Structure 1
Amino acid sequence: MFTGIVQAACDVVAIQKRAGLHTLEVALPARLQDGLTTGASVANNGVCLTVTRLANDRVFFDVMEETLSLTNLSDLQVGSQVNIERSLTFGSEIGGHILSGHIHTTAKVDAVSHTDEHYDLTLSVAAKWMPYILYKGFIGVNGCSLTIGRVEGNTFMLHLIPETLKLTNLGQVVPGSLLNIEIDSQTQAIVDTVERVLAQRAAQQN
């Protein structure tokens, strides 16, 4: 489990590509490697990956074909940065909202508005995900716990603060970029339950 509070944007220093499997080599600072062992879970752009090897300041992760097909990890190149969060530990402060590290879909960046007063991203997703994306609701974007600022059609807007831009890779995105999306689990459960109850009532009335 994760909180959506990204700890650093770290460099991808090598990618080994094999059929159906990519191995990412990521440079993590010493503070993020403290106590890290093989088998541990680390979120990379919001994707829960297992540490397969550690060597000096490098941490290795295997990414399976299914994950590559559903997330933006397939687009990574050497020199890309990934948002990194270590898994939640007992007693940790939860500053964001609970994330599982299981990505539902990707969103396309439609527009970036950067002025002296604000930094806004407008994203679009497939229509089937929009019932779970609500004004002032939570969403995981590349592993960042963010509040939705506006919803219109199949698009939504995010208002990013300087601290988020400093610690994550969201300040590097451009129109056309794909970002990993994890829908808030509580919102999804409530929406699905309400829809199921309404459908049952409608069926009983017919």
Structure 2
Amino acid sequence: MFTGIVQGKAEVTAIEHREQFMTLQVKLPMEAANNLQTGASIAINGTCLTITAFKDTLVSFDVISETLRVTNLGKLQLNDVVNFERAAKFGDEIGGHLLSGHVSDQAEITAIDRDDNNCILWLKPAAAMLPYILPKGFVALNGCSLTIGEVRDQQFNIYLIPETLAVTTFGEVKVGDRINLEVDPQTQAVVDTVNRYLEANPIGSK
């Protein structure tokens, strides 16, 4: 379980590609590398990955075919920087919203509006994700818990504060980048339940 409060950025230090499989190694900041354990979970760009090996601040993960298909991890290159969050523990403050780290799909950045105090990103998700993206609802983007602003023309926007830009990789994103998207599971459950009910009981039917 994760909270969507990204703890920092990690550098990609090694990648090994095999057929529909990848081994990924990242370097965590020293302060985030305490009490690591093989088999523990860390969210990398919002994707829950299992630690397979570690030494000092270097941590390795196996990335399987479904994860490569759904997420942006397969596009990573050496020296790229990713968002990370260690798994939440009982008693931790939940400052964002509860996340599974199971990425739903990717959304493409279509526009970036910046001024002295604000950064607004517009993103276009897959059509299948749009029913779960509602104004003032929650999404996780590359592991960041964020509140949706507007939804229009099959796109939505988010507003980023300076702290988010400094701590996460959103300070370096550009138009055309594909961002991992995890929709709010409670919203998804409600929308799917209502849709199933309406399909079984069409309006006007007797």
What is residue 120 of structure 1 aligned with on the other side? 120
Q: Is the 8 A contact 2:33 2:56 kept in 1?
A: no
What is residue 154 of structure 1 aligned with on the other side? 154
Are residue 143 (structure 1) and residue 143 (structure 2) matched?
A: yes
Distance in 2, matches of 1:13 and 1:114, equals 31
Distance in 1, matches of 2:57 and 2:33, equals 8
Residues 157-195 of structure 1: per-residue CA shift (max 9 Å, x gap): 010001111111111111110000000000001111111
Question: TM-score, normalised on structure 2?
Answer: 0.97
Distance in 2, matches of 1:151 and 1:113, equals 16
Q: Is the 8 A contact 2:118 2:162 kept in 1?
A: no
Which segment is superposed worse, 111-120 or 195-204? Answer: 195-204
The answer for unaligned runs of 5 or more in structure 1 is: none
What is residue 166 of structure 1 aligned with on the other side? 166
Residues 88-120 of structure 1: per-residue CA shift (max 9 Å, x gap): 111010000000000110000001111113101
Number of paired residues? 206
User: Runs of 4 or more off by more than 4 Å in structure 1?
Assistant: none
What is residue 188 of structure 2 aligned with on the other side? 188
Please report how far the alpha carbon of residue 153 of structure 1 lies from its aligned counterpart in structure 2 after TM superposition. 2.4
Letter in 1 for 2:63: V
Q: Is the 8 A contact 2:50 2:61 kept in 1?
A: yes
Are residue 100 (structure 1) and residue 100 (structure 2) matched?
A: yes
- 3-state SS of 1:107 partner: strand
Letter in 1 for 2:186: Q
Q: Is the 8 A contact 2:138 2:146 kept in 1?
A: yes
What is residue 84 of structure 2 aligned with on the other side? 84
Q: 1:203 to 1:114 in 2, by over 3 A?
A: closer
Distance in 2, matches of 1:94 and 1:134, equals 22
Question: TM-score, normalised on structure 1?
Answer: 0.97
Are residue 64 (structure 1) and residue 33 (structure 2) matched?
A: no
Which segment is superposed worse, 48-57 or 178-187? Answer: 48-57
Residues 39-79 of structure 1: per-residue CA shift (max 9 Å, x gap): 00000000000000011220011111111111000110111
What is residue 129 of structure 2 aligned with on the other side? 129
RMSD after superposition? 1.2
